Structure 1
Amino acid sequence: MSLNPIQLAVNGTLMRGLALNGNLTQIGGTFLREAQTAPCYRLWSIRDIHPGMIRTSQGGSAIALEIWEIPALGLSQLLLQEPPGLSVGRILLSDQTEVLGILAEPYLCEGQTEITAWGGWRAYIESLTKNSKS
């Protein structure tokens, strides 16, 4: 029995050109497209190392992410390489479809900097780079 590839939404360091993107490409991941979540998510910077995204019933916004196609059997390998507190869940996209994606367990975001207003991890880390050049 062969398993069909799955679509996976990523919102942080797994995205193209960022620190852990190699984890996706090593399992045979293929970039499909950029996308946004429905406006029901909040995003935190976890010590400025990676983001944590949580679905919420209030105070949410659309968050930029990427959709990748990965071999179903590669999902467990990918998760084992993710930082503690990140897991896979269903993510509602702006077009109202759902895909699997990387989410944070709520405890991970406690006491961290909320970055929802930036609309995504890339925009937030770019703001850090601009501020350090000032």
Structure 2
Amino acid sequence: MTSVLLAVNGTLMRGFELNGNLIAVNSRFVKEAQTAPCYRLWSINDKHPAMQKVAIGGKAIDLEIWEVPTGGLARILKQEPPGLCIGKIELSDGEMELGVLGEALLCDGQNEITGFGGWRAYCASKDAGSLKGRV
């Protein structure tokens, strides 16, 4: 295997600050996707999101699927913020892919943004100044 699919849900996505980490190892954007409706999302100090799979109260979260050369995967992960990790993410079509998740401790006490459906929508609403009532 020379590459692996990786689901990303925050600053690794196109147009965000850490997307260059994917590009630097010759990753290729594959498609936009959504998780199955069993995830929650938090804003970690408004710098990046963290997503967790839950039994109750989850929703579908927007993400991107990237094809990453296996040799570059560790390099990308080492550059991720502390508390983010890799796990299996269930997509809306029932497929399972590796993806970026957040440790429980990282999300504790942070702003839950699940209601926005994804990091891109949350950031757009911040820019528009309309954060009230969406969680």
Letter in 2 for 1:123: A
Deviation at 1:87, TM superposition (A): 0.5
Deviation at 1:73, TM superposition (A): 1.3
- Distance in 1, Cα, partners of 2:105 & 2:25: 29
> Could you tell me which residue of structure 2 aligns to residue 65 of structure 1?
63
Is the aligned partner of 1:11 residue 2:9? Answer: yes
Q: TM-score, normalised by structure 1?
A: 0.95
> Could you tell me which residue of structure 2 aligns to residue 76 of structure 1?
74
Which runs of 5 or more structure 2 residues have no equivalent in the other structure?
Answer: 131-135
Query: 1:108 aligned to 95, 106, 109, which one?
Result: 106
- Distance in 2, Cα, partners of 1:26 & 1:113: 31
Which runs of 5 or more structure 1 residues have no equivalent in the other structure?
Answer: none
Q: TM-score, normalised by structure 2?
A: 0.95
Instruction: Name segments (4+ residues, structure 1) moved above 6 Å.
Output: none
Query: 2:123 aligned to 125, 129, 133, which one?
Result: 125
Q: How many percent identity over aligned positions?
A: 58
Query: 1:43 aligned to 31, 41, 58, which one?
Result: 41
> For residues 76-114 of structure 1, what are the alpha-carbon distances to aligned partners after superposition, in whole Å with 9 as ceiling and x for unaligned?
100100000001000000000000000001100000000
Deviation at 1:4, TM superposition (A): 2.3
Instruction: State the Cα RMSD in Å.
Output: 0.9
Q: How many residues align?
A: 130
